[in-house]
Chains A and B, each alone.
Chain A
Amino acid sequence: MLTFTIRRLILSVPTLLFISLVIFLLLELAPGDPMAQVPLTVPPEVKEKMREALGLGQPMHIRFWKWLVQFFWIEPQVMIDHYFGTTYAVGDLRVISWQTRSPVMDTVVQRIPQTLWVVGTAYIVGILIALPIGIYSAYRQYSVFDQCGTFVTMIGFSIPPFFTGPLLIVVFSVQLGWFPFIYDTTHVVDDWDSFVYQLRQMILPVMVLALQTTAQISRYMRASMLDNMNQDYVRTARAKGLSEAVVVMVHVLRNSMIPVVTVIALGMPAIFGGAIITEQVFSVNGIGSQLITALFANDLPTVQTLTFIFAMLIVFFNLIADILYGLLDPRIRYD
């Protein structure tokens, strides 16, 4: 198992390098000019100096290497300095945002908790709803419950989050007035009332994101349960006189969870993509809305860093999916 994990871990290094190269080249080949906003009265030699001050003077491969060093070597040192009070990174050049002239990672660290809170809760809620639905609709295949479940999941697949968001706001915030329609990120939870407020403001964005997750995962759960329902070992278990609950919840469920766990891990990146839209709808100031602001402000270092963070999340969850698959299914591990 350890060798399997290590092999997967090593394989993810070239993947990450490839992705960082793609992102870098995409930004590099893009025709936008960071000096476009500078007034025309500024003489060309001053412009050239400003360009160099932004680090644009050197050839492409040197800048790529510098960015790699800054991201993978200096930023972790800054983090260590922050937590342990050491001084490894003092004086080193960090990735600086062109928009705020401060290190990109400082802003990211401020904003990532909001994204993770909303996305994480949504995902857990979605899974908790999806698994029972999937299990029951497979157990009673073609029943009324199963038909309804199929219809609801189809709708969940088809209605995009930028429509469900406004729809829920109109119904629950405007008409009924139950929940606030703007996510207040400065809100501090210190007593019961503020906790309730936090819950109320999280419900709408979480529901929007959870609808997508629920639709997808309950489909997979149902299909996987159906595959296992007619296997010989299930008949054996029934023949042994085990109760129906034990047969379904222990024997069938454990075997059906193998593909579902992978789908759960692999679905994580998609929900981060959905979070960009949800953050925009509910004005959550997470990293998704930071990406949009940076894009419109032509702030390339921030865009590069954020896109790469999204990529890292994807590779990380792919790795987790692989390892879980290996843990659950020994046939893969020894391949």
Chain B
Amino acid sequence: MTDLSNQTPLAPPRSQWRNVWDQLKKHKGALLGGGFLVFITLAVLLGPYVWTLDPQKIDYRARDFRPIYHALFDADAKTAWANPLGTDQLGRDGLANILAGGRTSMAVGWAAMLLTLFIGTMIGVVAGFFKKLDGPLMRLTDLFLSLPILPLLLVAVTLFREPLRGNFGPEGGMFILIVAIIGITSWMPTARIVRGDVLALKEREFVLAARSIGTKPGAMIWRHLLPNVISPIMVSATLGLAAAIITESALSFLGVGFPSDFPTWGKMLADAVQRMEEFPERVMLPGIAISLTVLSVNYLGDGLRDALDPRIRGR
């Protein structure tokens, strides 16, 4: 017979996040991706304090240096340990520029991703929770989905550049503009996913129980619904980060991004295309930086999706 007198469980219950972490550890790509993302974020945040060269400093005597690894296969190449990734046609240091450019790209990426999530989650939750608003909000989402995003981005950035520059300074104005525009034009997938999940959650017993003890709609959303839709939001966060970094670089590449003396990865790539026959590394380095960052974010998202899905997690 089972002994019912001892009711205390043998071990404390495992938390959900513990399980998620265990599953994520099994996904090699996600671990590598997450590691690289942390590395590149720390590098662009702390790098300028370690590598203190000013990215804007023009030094004509040290222009057109090749990266240091060129000395391996071409002993006559112009290299210097003072500029391990070479210098550009004005003698600006390559490494300092990559770090400064990464700072901008990552800042735009994170800020635009957070704004996208905020708008998307808000619209998704409101549409799912309040039946009256569901129809109009979802029609609005459909309409936004049929807007031509890249042409509109180009138009908006070119047309609204001047006044924002006047108000917030050349870099600040552009930052606000790009983040706002990416946020406004890419919240739709998040909103759809969140709405679907909220609709399903609303029928569950715990929501009924919460309502029966008189929980107000605000508290209901904040305490009961949002914690349960956190996993799709996290997955779309990774997708949003990758998309925002690529969009910002594309705008810089097309020449409508940040002002010309302000390095970003996309602009460094665009500037280097003119002379890429002689100096292919100036295209490669920022290009690889963008691609690796986006690749790592995508792998992290892939792993998170598996780890957060309880049906897959058990396997």
Contact = CB atoms under 8 A, between A and B. Distances in A.
Given A27-B155, A273-B149, A307-B152, A170 B295 contact: no
Interface stretch (A14-22, A43-51, A125-133, A136-144): A14-22
Contacts of A273: 148-151
B152 A154 contact: no
Given A22-B147, A273-B150, A295-B155, A160 B276 contact: no
B291 A303 contact: no
Contacts of B226: none
A28 B309 CA distance: 46
Nearest to B289: A163
A166 B276 contact: yes
Given A163-B291, A166-B269, A269-B148, A154 B158 contact: no
Given A19-B146, A31-B163, A162 B270 contact: yes
A212 to B, nearest CB: 11
B249 interface: yes
Nearest to B284: A167
Contacts of B295: 154-155, 157-159
A328 interface: no
A160 B290 contact: yes
Interface string B227-268: 000000000000000100010011001111000000000100
Nearest to B150: A273
Contacts, number: 121
Contacts of B273: 166, 281
Interface in A247-292: 269, 272-273, 276-277, 280-281, 291-292
Contacts of A208: none
Contacts of B290: 160, 163
Contacts of B45: none
Interface in A300-317: 303, 306-307, 310-311, 313-315
Contacts of B287: 159, 163, 166-167
Given A31-B160, A158-B298, A162-B270, A26 B155 contact: yes
A32 interface: yes
Contacts of A174: 276-277
Nearest to B29: A154
Given A18-B143, A22-B147, A162 B253 contact: yes
B294 A158 contact: yes
Q: Interface residues of A toward B: which range?
A: 35 or more
Interface in A1-47: 15, 18-19, 22-23, 26-27, 30-32
Given A18-B143, A31-B163, A158-B291, A314 B148 contact: yes
A26 B156 contact: yes
Q: Is the interface of A mostly helix, strand, loop or mixed?
A: helix
Interface in B284-315: 284, 287, 290-292, 294-295, 298-299, 302
Given A31-B160, A162-B270, A166-B283, A314 B146 contact: yes
A154 B156 CA distance: 30
A280 B250 CA distance: 11
Contacts of A334: none
A296 interface: yes
Contacts of A162: 249-250, 253, 266, 269-270
A318 interface: yes
Nearest to A22: B147
Query: Which of B156, B255, B283 is packed against the most chain A CB atoms within 10 Å?
Result: B283
Contact of B254 (A22, A167, A292): A292
A313 B151 CA distance: 13
B281 to A, nearest CB: 11
Nearest to B294: A158
B219 interface: no
A269 to B, nearest CB: 7
B213 interface: no
A31 B143 contact: no
Contact of B154 (A27, A158, A295): A295
A160 B159 contact: no
A23 B276 CA distance: 37
B162 interface: yes
Contacts of A295: 154-155, 158, 256
What are the 8 tightest A-B residue pairs by CB atom distance, in nearest-first order?
A: A30-B159, A310-B148, A273-B150, A163-B287, A158-B295, A158-B294, A162-B253, A159-B291
Given A160-B291, A277-B250, A313-B148, 11 more contacts: A18-B143, A26-B152, A31-B162, A154-B298, A157-B298, A158-B294, A163-B269, A166-B283, A276-B150, A306-B151, A314-B147
Interface of A: 15, 18-19, 22-23, 26-27, 30-32, 154-155, 157-160, 162-163, 166-167, 169-170, 174, 269, 272-273, 276-277, 280-281, 291-292, 295-296, 303, 306-307, 310-311, 313-315, 318
